[in-house]
Amino acid sequence: MKKKISLLLAGLALAASQAQAAPMILAYYSGYAGNYAALTQYASSFNAVAVDFYNISAQGVVKGNGDPAPSDAIAFLRGRKIPAYGAVSNVDGNGDWSPGIAHAVSTAAQGRAVANLVKFAQDQRFAGINVDFEAVAQGDRNNFSAFVQTLGRALHAKGLKLIVSVPAFSAKDENHEANYGYDLRALGAVADYLQIMTYDEAIPAWDPGPVAGSGWVEDDLDYAVERVPAAKILSGIQAYGYDWKQPGDGAMLYWKDTQALIARYGAQPRYDAASNSLTFGYDAADGSRHTVWTENARSVALKAGLVNAYGLGGTSLYALGMEDAGFWAAVGQGLARR
C-alpha cells in the first residue's frame, strides 16, 4: 500500500502511535572545507558518521581516496563514542564512478573484497561498512546483490553492520540504466540500512530545477518502503543546492553560503510550494542571469519529518562542512514532529 503523505502534513506522522527506536542520524564526513569544525561543533546533532574517505580497487583492495587521512575525525568519534562507518566507493584513479570496479568486486574479486572490507572495518574499529557503489551496470544487478549479501553475512558474523547507499528512484524510472543495477528488495534483505540518496533530482549538467522536490522524494520513499522494511531505510537530506549560470552549467552552493549570496545580489527568494524548495535568481557581475534551487529551514524540517511519517530507520545528511547551526536546528525540528 502506498504511504504517500504531503510534506505539509508530515508533522502528523503516520507512525505517531507506533513505538520505535530513536532514529539513526547519519552525517557524512567527506573532504569538504570545514568538515572537522562541523564534526566537532555539531556532534550532538547526529548519532552516527560515515567516514567517506575510501575507495576499493578492481582487485578488491581498500585504499584511501587521495584526501588527507581522517585520523583526527576518527579519534574524535571514538572519544565521543559515536559509531563510525567506513564509506567505501567504486571510484577509479581519475575520480570517476567505475562500473568496471563494481563489476569486478561483485564477481571475480568478490571473495577478496569481502575479506578486505571486513578486515578494514575491524582494523579501523568501525561499527561497519557503508558501501557506496554508484553507476552499477544494469547487467550487474544480480552480481551486486550477491556481493552485498555475502558482505553483509561476513560483517554480521563479526558483530559489524552494513549500510548500502543507493540512488533514489521510483516505479517511474526503476528500469532506467542508472537505476536497474540496484535491486532494493535483494539489497535490503541483508543490509542493516539502505541509505536512499533522495537528492540530486536536478544536477548541474541539466536544466535548473528542485534538487529534492517533495513529490519526487515521496515517490522514491513510497517505492522503497514497498520493498524494504521502513525501519531499514535512511532518507537523505542535502546541505546544498545548485546555482545555474545557464541550463547545463551549474555549480554546488553550500547551505551556509546561501544567505550571503542572497544579500550580495539583493535576490528575492521564493518558496516553491509545489516542490517544498527555495528558489531565486540574480544577475551576476558578468551579466549572466543565474537560477538557484536549494533548501531552507522550512523545507529541511518537512523532509526530516518524513522519518516519522514513514516510520523510517532514520535520515542521512550530506555533508559536514556545508551546513551551519540553522541546518541542524531544522533537522531536529523535523525529527521531533510526531
pLDDT, tens digit (0-9, with 9 covering 90-100), for 147-201: 999 999 999 999 999 999 999 999 999 999 999 999 999 999 999 999 999 999 9
Q: Which helix (H) or strand (E) holds 79?
A: helix 71-80
pLDDT category of residue 337 using cuts at 50, 70 and 90: confident
Asked if residue 50 has a cis previous peptide bond (ω within 30° of 0), the answer is no
Average pLDDT over all residues of the chain: 95
**What ranges do the domains of the chain cover?**
7-239+296-336
CA 305-171-12 angle, to 5 degrees, is: 20
pLDDT, tens digit (0-9, with 9 covering 90-100), for 204-232: 999 999 999 999 999 999 999 999 999 99
Would the pLDDT of 18 be above 80?
no
Burial class for 333, CB neighbours closer than 10 Å (0-12, 13-18, 19+): middle
* Cell digits of residue 310: 514513514
E strands within 30-110? 48-56, 62-64, 84-89
- How confident is the model at residue 21, as a pLDDT? 77
Asked if residue 154 has a cis previous peptide bond (ω within 30° of 0), the answer is no
Q: What is the rounded distance in angstroms from the CA atom of residue 169 to the CA atom of residue 49?
A: 24
Share of the chain above pLDDT 90, in %: 93
- How confident is the model at residue 140, as a pLDDT? 98
Q: Is 109 helix (H, G, I), strand (E, B) or coil?
A: coil
CATH topology of domain 7-239+296-336: TIM Barrel (3.20.20)
Amino acid at position 58, single letter: A
Model pTM? 0.95
Q: What is the rounded distance in angstroms from the CA atom of residue 175 to the CA atom of residue 191?
A: 22
CA 88-325-195 angle, to 5 degrees, is: 30
- How confident is the model at residue 6, as a pLDDT? 56
Share of the chain above pLDDT 70, in %: 94
pLDDT, tens digit (0-9, with 9 covering 90-100), for 79-138: 999 999 999 999 999 999 999 999 999 999 999 999 999 999 999 999 999 999 999 999
pLDDT category of residue 317 using cuts at 50, 70 and 90: very high
Sequence-ordered alpha helix ranges (H) in 231-274: 255-265
Phi (first) and psi of residue 112, to 5 degrees:
-65, -40
Phi (first) and psi of residue 236, to 5 degrees:
-90, 140
pLDDT, tens digit (0-9, with 9 covering 90-100), for 138-157: 999 999 999 999 999 999 99
